[in-house]
Amino acid sequence: MKTSILAAAFALTATFVLAHAKPATMTPEDGSTVTAPEVIAIHFDAPMRVTAFTLTGPDGDIAVTRTVGMEPVTQFDAAPGSPLLPADYTVEWRGMSQDGHPMQGSFAFAVAD
């Protein structure tokens, strides 16, 4: 009885439907070969707070400028500090989806002449 009262009381206060967000598309695409991109983007299917974003090239981490802060977003963009030279690059990101789950992912692309 107590349980059902508790469940009913809680049900009345239910608020938002939250779920895992996950990246829907990445630019450049994972495994693609592209000309030097001006922007590296991740599109999430639900708001994601991107807490860490690293672009790594042949000489180590590359400074990027985020166009958004740490607020939850569905579209995350970051621009490399200088044009990317032909090489292989890896992107790693970490974040938190709205249901509180820590999320992470990575993708790689190559820049050709």
Partner 1 sequence: MEGGTAIDGLTACAIIAKAIGSAAALLAMGGPLFVIAFRQAPATVLQMARQIAVAAAMIGIAVLAVRFGIRAARISGMGFAGAVDPMMLGFVWDSPLGTAAIWRMAGYLCVLGLMMPKRGGVAVSLIGAGLLAVSYTRVGHALSDPQMLLSALLVVHLLAVALWVAALLPLRRAASVPAGAALLHNFGVLASVTVPVLIIAGLGFAWIMAGSLWALFGTAYGLMLLAKVALVSILLMLAALNKWRLVPALARGLPEADKALRRAITLEVAIVGLILLATATLTSVTTPPIHL
Please choose, from the candidates 25, 26, 34, 23, the residue with its C-alpha nearest in 3D space to the C-alpha of residue 88.
34
Report helix, strand or coil for 99. Answer: coil
Q: Min. distance of Cβ 74 from partner 1 in angstroms? A: 15
* Size of interface with partner 1, in residues (CB under 8 A): 29
For the record, the structure tokens of 111 come out as 């820049």
Of 16-24, 36-44, 58-66, 78-86, the segment contacting partner 1 by CB under 8 A is 16-24
Of 26-34, 55-63, 73-81, 96-104, the segment contacting partner 1 by CB under 8 A is 96-104
- What region, left, alpha or beta, does residue 6 occupy, with left being phi > 0 and alpha being psi -120 to 50 degrees? alpha
d(CA 26, CA 53): 13
d(CA 39, CA 1): 57
Q: Which is nearer to partner 1, 15 or 83 (CB)?
A: 15
* Interaction residues for partner 1, span 28-57 (CB under 8 A): 49, 51-52, 54
Per CB under 8 A, 61 contacts partner 1 = no
Query: Element (H or E) spanning 110, and its range?
Result: strand 102-111
Per CB under 8 A, 10 contacts partner 1 = yes
Q: Which position among 1, 14, 31, 112 is part of the footprint of partner 1 (CB under 8 A)?
A: 14
